[in-house]
Amino acid sequence: MKASAFVYPWDVNGDPEAPARIAALGVAQVTLASAYHSTRALTPRHPRHRVVTAEYAAVLYPPGAHWTGRTPRPHPAGDWAPGDAFGEAATALAQAGLEVHTWVVLAHNSRLGAEHPATSVVNAYGDRYPWAPCIAQPATRAYLTDLAAEAAVRPGARGTELESLGWYGLAHLHAHDKTAGVGLGDAGQYLMSLCFCPSCHEGYGAQGLDAGELAASVRTALEPVWRGAPSGGGWTGVEKLLGAKPAAAARAWREETARTLQETAVRAVRDAAPEGFQVLLHADPVPYHCGANAGVDPGHILSVADGVVVPCTGDPGPLTPFARENHPGSVLAANFTVVSGMGGSPGTLTADATEARRLGATELRLYHAGLASDDDLESVRSALAAL
């Protein structure tokens, strides 16, 4: 199975040993960040630093002149990834014999929400989620589509992986996050992720819903949850809280919005890319799910993109709905966290990858070569050699 390791430019730039060390893992490819959200990351082997703080969502290359005067527009990175950090790292990795693909984070951008609050998802209580751009807004959709094409098709890249190309909601790895005091469950998380910005008001109206009444229903449905009552799981739980008919109408609006954005963004990447450029989405097979792995309809997305990257740490089951589509030539990449301190299990990678292959995986993704300890990387080397 072809394997690719996720990498940040700052894992490579300034560390002349990094490309050979990554290649020695046994991977054929790296998935190198070209547009990324804010983060604080360890660099346990870098000769110049141990912690990198990426202060805001940024492109890790100089943005094109076509962004001049546009709102919103991407920002270049600060001193954590200056200049063409992506290009520098990509060149070094390619010289080590690794195939380079871009890693593009889209609808997850706290700086966008801070500078342009009206772009953010607004929940039923009127709270804004600055990390979550509303993908129904025309200007935001245009921004995300153009960003996808530019950040994906970087010099030297042979393909791309598009992350968070769909709805983002309440769940967010935010600094000093303190939102776990009430167990919202799958259904409660979904209701707290519904957007009520002006564009979504119009969208709900087109489905025959009054947005004000829908927001009131969400608040009423969640009141027992705030007091400790379970919200229920899965779509049945959403219907129980909200009612089957309004739940279905709201879902129809949101899924159409995500689906058309995914189609448009993938088409934009293909138009900008050379022949044979691979386009994958980080995806969740449950269409109403929110987050970095966008909820998709498996059959539809495999007809749009070249394949998907599916979260499999602890459970490779999400591969099955994609494999059932039996879409010839599609990439089904099983994504495993291989950083022990982040909940990964590199020691079981051989068994996990074998099970993923049985369920239909055609490739592996390993998160993350820059963050992992030496012991974790040794486990990865051993596993890939065994596979």
Asked if residue 222 belongs to a domain, the reply is no
**H/E run at residue 132:** strand 128-133
Over residues 258-285, the pLDDT tens digits come to: 999 999 999 999 999 999 999 999 999 9
CATH number at residue 85: 3.20.20.80
| Displacement of CA 56 from its chain's centroid (Å) | 16
CA distance linking residue 283 with residue 318, whole number of Å? 9
> Shortest CA distance to 308 belongs to which of 273, 333, 325?
333
Over residues 285-323, the pLDDT tens digits come to: 999 999 999 999 999 999 999 999 999 999 999 999 999
Asked if residue 115 belongs to a domain, the reply is yes
CB 171 within 8 A of CB 299: no
Asked if residue 147 belongs to a domain, the reply is yes
| Displacement of CA 126 from its chain's centroid (Å) | 25
How far, in Å, are 145, 194, 221, 281 from residue 254 at the CA level?
A: 17, 9, 19, 18
| Displacement of CA 359 from its chain's centroid (Å) | 22
pLDDT above 90 for 382 = yes
In which band, very low, low, confident or very high, does the pLDDT at 164 lie, cut at 50, 70 and 90?
A: very high
Three-point CA angle 275, 281, 282, nearest 5°: 150
Two tokens, residue 119? 């772009």
Asked if residue 227 belongs to a domain, the reply is no
CA distance linking residue 15 with residue 170, whole number of Å? 37
Asked if residue 350 belongs to a domain, the reply is yes
| Mean pLDDT, residues 357-370 | 98
Domain span at 142: 2-179+275-386
Bond preceding residue 368 cis, omega within 30 of 0: yes
Output the pLDDT for position 174: 67
What is the tally of structural domains in the chain?
Answer: 1
Asked if residue 305 belongs to a domain, the reply is yes
Over residues 83-129, the pLDDT tens digits come to: 999 999 999 999 999 999 999 999 999 999 999 999 999 999 999 99
| Mean pLDDT, residues 141-164 | 98
Output the pLDDT for position 181: 78
Asked if residue 245 belongs to a domain, the reply is no
Averaged pLDDT score across all residues of the chain: 96
Amino acid (one-letter) located at 269: V
Asked if residue 243 belongs to a domain, the reply is no
Torsion sign (Cα): 64, 65, 71, 74: positive
Most confident of the ranges 4-18, 170-184, 232-246: 4-18
3-state secondary structure of 63: coil
| Displacement of CA 350 from its chain's centroid (Å) | 25
Output the pLDDT for position 351: 97
In which band, very low, low, confident or very high, does the pLDDT at 193 lie, cut at 50, 70 and 90?
A: very high
**pTM attached to this predicted model:** 0.97
